[in-house]
Every structure is written in structure tokens, then in C-alpha cells.
Amino acid sequence: MKKVLFALCFVAIAAVGAIAQEEATVTSSFSTQIYTGFSYYMGSSTIVAGDSDNLDDATSRLNFTGVFTMGDFGAKFTLRAQNIDNDNWQPSYDSAMDTKLSVNGTVGARRAFVFYTFLEQKMYLAAGLPGIGDFSTTYDGLVAFDNALPGVLATVKPIEGLELGYFFPISSAEADAETLFNASTVAAMYEIPSIATVQVWLHQFDDLQVVGDINVTAVEGLTLSGEFGYNDTVDFEDPDCIDVKEQVGYAFGKVSPLVVSSQHFPDSGDMTFTVKPSIAYALSDNIELAAEYAYDSGAENHVFDAYAKFTLQNNYIKVKPGYDTADGKGFFLKTVLVAEF
């Protein structure tokens, strides 16, 4: 029954868009994104392939994305090859389901959905395996509606500056409507022009995850944001915990100091924290030099590094030598490559 409901929603959105735009011109665009690099640790004489900026030391990613539009109707897909699986949130009703098929280098569908916008772009409907970045946190880039789960997504902008979103998942196993509703996601975001953007979203109402974010935009050159997360479910890495993260910085011409800190409050055990001050210098429009320090109270390790970043449009190469006091790390050299074409 749930599969029939999902299929009907998918077809309905496609049919409405096609009828309304039957004389519109079809346009398409395609892009490829690569995230990779390597890390060499002298302490253990190991080389690990992966993008330690956007992913981690052991993860590389290749995306191929296509977008088709016909007026207000469209479709989008992202195929992904990724050398390891990210164990992101999975709903409790179907913990075995994993639609992120790109594991161990294989290629699978990360997103595949049809969408339709109407009411002068104030309402958006999508069905399939949707993923949009409208609701995302400022520093970590957590995204409310990109769970790699099949379902129906709707967003609406009822008044200026306010956007609301709701995602209803469709299970690959039999589940009643109440169970599916409890596994849904709702988000709200409000922008106060030239002051701040505030958002909050809820995952899974029976085992709750709450995410909040505020990004201050009142002062040009100022970076000031805070993120809040609360988990109350065995599906998360640390059940019953609170995480807070802040960043503050200011650009003085070509010099940009920044401090990022985080605090982790588990249900049992001691609070842990990290702090990461850095300073960057824009040598030119395409070259950035920086020095960083990071301390993790949980792991009790210190990391000192510097990097040179060479940027060209959406592409960059970063070379980062440094020293990590953790066992088996010591002196290291990391390189990161991010390319889009």
C-alpha cells in the first residue's frame, strides 16, 4: 500500500507539471563533482586516500548530477561513487534500509526525484529520492532534507523571509501511517534582512532529534553563528546528548582570524569540548595561506597545521602539512582536491 501511495504521489506531481508546462521548452544541465586527496602520517607510515576537508581522511566522493526543467516542472538525479559508506541517520522503522548505494566504490542513486514549483515560486513539491539544501546549518552544513530516503517533500514561503518544509518518508518495508509520520522531518527558517537567519528542524518525532542554527549577518566582514543539536534515539551515534557549536571571526582586509568551538554534553559521562582558532591571509584572489590549531578534550590531542589553498572558480587544491599528537599520527601531510565541471 505504501509503495502504491508513493507511486501515485510521484506520478501526480509529474502529471500536474507536464500538463501545466506542455508547451514549455525542456532544458538540461549536467555536472561532475570530485572530492578526494590523501593524508600521510609519518608516525605510522600510512597513506590514507580521502578528502579530509569536506568528508574525512578515509572518504573520497564522485558525483554526477543532472537537472531537467520544463517551465516550473523538473527532475534531478545525483549518481554517487564513494569509497566508504557514511552511517548517517536512518529511521527507526526501517533501520536496514540504505538507499545510499554508493559503498566500496560502487555507483548508486544518491538523489532521484521530480519537482514542481508554483504560486510564483512560493511552493515546492518533490517526490522520489529528494534532496534540497534550503535548510542547512552554517558551519557544519547539516541538511534537513537530504536524508537519502524515498518520500514526498513540500516547502512553502507563506510570508517574506519565512520558509517551511516537511518531508514524509515512504518505507521499503510495511509500516503504518503513524510510524511513517513519526519518522518524518519538519523544518522552519526565518531571515531577518541584514540582521540574522534563524532555523530549527525536527527529525523523527518518537525518537527526537532537534537541530537549531542562527547566523548573524548584521555586520559586514563578521562571522558569527551558533548551532545546536539534541539527540534522543538509539539511531544516532550518541543517544540522549546535546551538542553546541559556535564560530566567531572578522575579516580585517586580507586577514581573517576565526575561532570555532564545540561542546558535547552526553547523557552520562563528562562534557567534552573542542576549540580551533585559525588565521587566514588572502595572498591574492586565488591563493590563501593559513595557520590553524585544534584541541580535542575527549581525545586529549593537539593538532598544529598550516595550509596553502589555490582556488579557481568552484575548484581548489589545498596542501596542508602539520603535526598531530595522537598516537600513530605525528607529522603529516594532507592534500585536498575539490573539482566541479
In this structure, of 95-109, 216-230, 306-320, the range with the lowest mean pLDDT score is: 95-109
Q: What's the rounded mean pLDDT across residues 49-55?
A: 87
Average pLDDT over residues 2-25: 53
Three-class SS state of 255: strand
Return left, alpha or beta for 23; rule: phi > 0 is left, psi -120 to 50 is alpha, else beta. Answer: alpha
Cell numbers 595522537 correspond to: 326
Residue 163, φ and ψ in degrees, nearest 5: -130, 135
| DSSP H/E element including 322 | strand 315-324
Cα gap 51→307, rounded to integer Å: 14
Q: What are phi and psi of 95, to 5 degrees?
A: -65, -20
Cβ-proximal residues to 40 (8 Å cutoff; 6+ apart), any chain: 46, 47, 48, 332, 333, 334
Higher pLDDT, 315 or 91: 315
How far is it, in rounded angstroms, from Cα 222 to Cα 251? Answer: 7
- The full set of domain ranges for the chain reads 1-24+71-218
| pLDDT for the residue 172 | 58
Model confidence at 232, in pLDDT bands (50, 70, 90)? Answer: low
Per the CB < 8 A criterion, the answer to whether 201 and 187 are in contact is: yes
Mark out the alpha helices in the chain (DSSP H runs): 2-20, 177-182
Percent of all residues in the chain with a pLDDT value above 70, rounded to a whole number:
82
Report the pLDDT value the prediction gives residue 92, as an integer from 0 to 100.
39
Alpha carbons within 13 angstroms on the beta-carbon side of residue 6 total 23
Q: For residues 229 and 231, which has the higher predicted lDDT (pLDDT)?
A: 229
CB of 84 within 8 A of CB of 99?
no
pLDDT recorded at residue 90: 37
Residue given cell 572518504 in the structure block = 59
Q: What CA–CA distance (Å, rounded) separates 237 from 242? A: 12
For the cut 60, the answer to whether the pLDDT of residue 187 exceeds it is yes
Residue 324 pLDDT > 90: yes
pLDDT at residue 235, rounded to an integer: 46
The Cα–Cα gap between 303 and 274 comes to 11
Q: Are 164 and 155 in contact (CB under 8 A)?
A: yes
Is the Cβ–Cβ distance between 202 and 135 less than 8 Å? no
| Model confidence at 41: pLDDT above 60 | yes
The C-alpha angle 316, 318, 324, rounded to 5 degrees, equals 155
pLDDT digits (tens, 9 = 90+) for 244-263: 999 999 999 999 999 999 99
| pLDDT value of residue 98 | 39
* Mean pLDDT, the chain, integer: 84
pLDDT in tens, 137-153: 999 888 999 877 889 99
Phi, psi of 139 (to 5 degrees): -95, -55
The predicted structure's pLDDT at residue 81 = 85
Q: Dump pLDDT digits (tens) for 66-91.
A: 999 999 999 999 998 876 433 333 33
Instruction: Specify the DSSP class assigned to residue 3.
Output: H
Contact 133, 146 (CB under 8 A): yes
Whether the per-residue pLDDT at 239 is higher than 70: the answer is no
